[in-house]
Amino acid sequence: MHANKIFTACLVLPVVLCLFVSCGEKTKNNTQTDGVPTKPNIVIIYLDDLGYGDVGAYGATQLKTPNMDRLASGGVRFTNGYAASATCSPSRYALLTGSYPWRNERAKILSGTAPLLIRDDQPTIPKMLKTQGYTTGIVGKWHIGLGNGQVDWNKRIAPGPNEVGFDYAYIMAATQDRVPTVYIENGHVVRLDPTDPIQVDYKNNFPGEPTGKLNPEMLKTKWHHGHFHSIINGISRIGYMKGGDEAKWVDENMADTFLVKAQDFVKRKKSEPFFLYYALQQPHVPRTPHQRFAGSSGLGPRGDVIVEADWCIGEFMKTLESHGLLENTLVVLSSDNGPVLNDGYYDEAVEKNGSHTPAGGLRGGKYSLFEAGTRVPFITYWSGKIEPSTSDAVVSQIDLFSSLASLVNGESAGEDSQNLLDVLLGVSSQGREELILEATSRTAYRQGDWVMIPPYAGPAKNEHVNIELGNDPDFQLYNLASDLPQQANLAISEPEILKEMLAAFEKIRGAQYGKIEQLQLE
Ligand code: NG6
Ligand code: CA
């Protein structure tokens, strides 16, 4: 018995010591409370439609983004960082679940009444972090659905962020251009007046309510395509809404509102490990800078709201700093998809763009299978822990799940998520070897420097937004190392590479394009 105990102690003690040492090792740069190592805070700053070239650190010169540039120059600036999709809902779904969006057939651009995309039993980053003692919060754009299909906006709205792992949520349901145009805090519409209940419908208008289509004289911003339904604050939106007057947001105050909520969350939770998903609404349409920023960029409202977003990021970082949290917080900054100028309103985005290149020389933009659709600014910053560098490693937002799990010793359960923690921390340059790219339910494949886009029917270009979509009746094959702007299609001249790429693609994606042997490769 006694001998047994000694034997067990001999086995267990070194393990315990080892765990203790490795724990201390891991957190040696972190804030210590009463000598107890704490886990680092994690903040994801996520912009909406910010393009690869919209940031100074990524080459913008006309547009000034000093705060994002500071994160880039003090952290790892990724040049091959990807959103999971070229539109919002699928990217956001994939970010939180670590699962490719094409695995979920509902993961498309959602209306404001669409049900929640995440299944009850599905692992998410905030759920995983909660198991490791984190307090979790989201402030900003949600857009991955709410409820089960029949939302009553006048009662508690669920399931939503709280049900998939967020302790605190202050969100807009979908997009700034979609109804309902109200904030929702932990499932409740903020400032809801029960005598003026909210009704939302995406098919039929409510009798007597004005619309952008029928009442253009009521608009302060005119719609260009889509966006001709209910008028709220002089802007017509997608979808119909009635009631809830007191609860409606003021578009020009949205940036300040989200910033204050994000700052408040940090102040409230600063003494515990926290995770904050700060999802800014800029520069998505409608672009409504606060008057402090109107005209600030010289590029019209699109530029102005990027300047505004940059300012918000600077203010947010000051909050971390003033509470002594900078050295104990990993900040990840990225965007949900690539850039678009005219996305449905006459807001001078095209006219005032000047020589600014939102896509930073990449082909395509939002909605596109070409690089600008999904390759976005991607920065990791951790004062005192991450050495400044530029990384060409391929990383996807899908990989945040496994990488953050690795950081906090949590369980990595995102089915497509790779643990690239060392890459994100700038100590390894071994990124992904392959990645499925997605744009509006079409997929393509990147492996090494090569991108293969299978044939797709449909227009080559979306004329409304003036963006090449990547559709072509033939296979496309590009070498990004020698041809970053994707101008030379090598599908014919490199049949072996095409064949290998297609086989690898079909292995992940499922055989969709017929048996490889039957392909006519000349
Ligand atoms: C499109 C909208 C566009 C934008 C987009 C979603 C029209 C014609 N266009 O359907 O304006 O709202 O959806 O953008 O209505 S995203 O960044 O949230 O994916
Ligand atoms: Ca978006």
Tell me the CA–centroid distance for residue 503 and ligand 2, in Å.
Answer: 31
Residues 178 and 206 in one domain: no
Confidence of residue 9 (pLDDT cuts 50, 70, 90): very low
Residues 422, 338, single domain; the answer is yes
Q: What is the mean pLDDT of residues 174-199?
A: 98
Residues 178 and 281 both lie in one domain: yes
The pLDDT > 90 percentage for the chain reads 90
Ligand 1 atom closest to the CA of 464, numbered from 1? 8
Please tell me whether residues 424 and 505 are part of one structural domain. no
**The pLDDT value given to residue 514:** 57
Q: What is the CATH number of the domain that holds 476?
A: 3.30.1120.10
Of 398, 430, 462, at which residue does a domain stop? 430
Shared domain for 419 and 460, answered yes or no, is no
Domain-embedded: residue 19:
no
Kindly state whether residues 214 and 303 are assigned to the same domain.
no
Cα(48) to centroid(ligand 2), Å: 4
Q: DSSP string covering 213-248, please?
A: TT-GGG-SB-BSSS--SBEETTEE-BSEEES-GGGB
Claim to verify: residue 412 and residue 393 sit in the same structural domain: yes
Residue 10 lies in a domain: no
- What pLDDT, on the 0 to 100 scale, is given for residue 329? 98
d(CA 410, CA 318): 29
pLDDT (mean) for 331-357: 98
pLDDT band at 521 (very low <50, low <70, confident <90, very high): very low
C-alpha of residue 227 to centroid of ligand 1, in Å: 9
Q: Is residue 64 part of a domain?
A: yes
| Inter-axis angle of helices 88-97 and 400-408, nearest 10 | 30
Q: How far apart are CA 341 and CA 347, in angstroms?
A: 9
Q: Average pLDDT, stretch 27-35?
A: 41
Indicate whether 216 and 325 sit together in one domain: no
Taking a C-beta distance cutoff of 8 angstroms, is the pair 148, 159 a contact?
A: yes
Give 178 Cα–ligand 1 centroid separation in angstroms. 9
In a domain, residue 133? The reply is: yes
Q: Which of 47, 305, 343, 438 to mutate to test the pocket of ligand 1 (most atoms within 8 A of CB)?
A: 343
Q: What percent of the chain has pLDDT over 70?
A: 91
Work out how many domains the chain is built from and give that number. 3
**What is the model's pLDDT at position 413?**
86
Going by pLDDT thresholds of 50, 70 and 90, the confidence category of residue 327 is very high
Residue 227 lies in a domain: yes
Separation CA 192–CA 266 (nearest Å): 26
Beta strands in 226-370 (DSSP E): 231-232, 235-236, 240-242, 274-279, 329-335
Q: Which amino acid is at 503?
A: A
CATH code, 296: 3.40.720.10
Same domain, 443 and 382: no
Overall average pLDDT of the 447-469 stretch: 97
Q: Is residue 18 part of a domain?
A: no
Q: Does pLDDT of 62 surpass 70?
A: yes
Distance 398 CA to ligand 1 centre (A): 22
Residue ranges making up the domain that contains 484: 436-518
Residues 412 and 473 grouped into a single domain: no
Atom of ligand 1 nearest to the CA of 91: 19
Ligand 1 pocket, Cβ-based, cut-off 6 angstroms: 48-49, 87-88, 109, 143, 175, 177, 225-227, 238, 284-285, 337, 343-344
Final residue before a domain boundary, out of 242, 277, 310: 242
Residue 6: inside a domain? no
Would you say 82 and 395 are in contact if contact means Cβ atoms under 8 Å apart?
yes
Q: Is there a single domain that holds both residue 399 and residue 508? A: no
- Counting Cβ atoms within 10 Å, is residue 203 exposed (0-12), middle (13-18) or buried (19+)? exposed
148 lies in a domain? yes
Is pLDDT at 72 greater than 90 in this prediction? yes
- Of 207, 242, 277, the residue at which a domain comes to its end is 242
Question: What's the pTM?
Answer: 0.92
Q: Using one digit for the tens of pLDDT, what is the confidence trace for 37-55?
A: 469 999 999 999 999 999 9
Tens digit of each residue's pLDDT (9 = 90 or more) over 73-114:
999 999 999 999 999 999 999 999 999 999 999 999 999 999
Is the pLDDT at 346 greater than 70? The verdict is yes
Q: Are residues 366 and 501 in the same domain?
A: no
Location of structure tokens 């693609």 = 505
What does the pLDDT read at residue 217? Answer: 97
Q: pLDDT value at position 412?
A: 86
* Residue bearing the CA closest to ligand 1, atom 5: 109
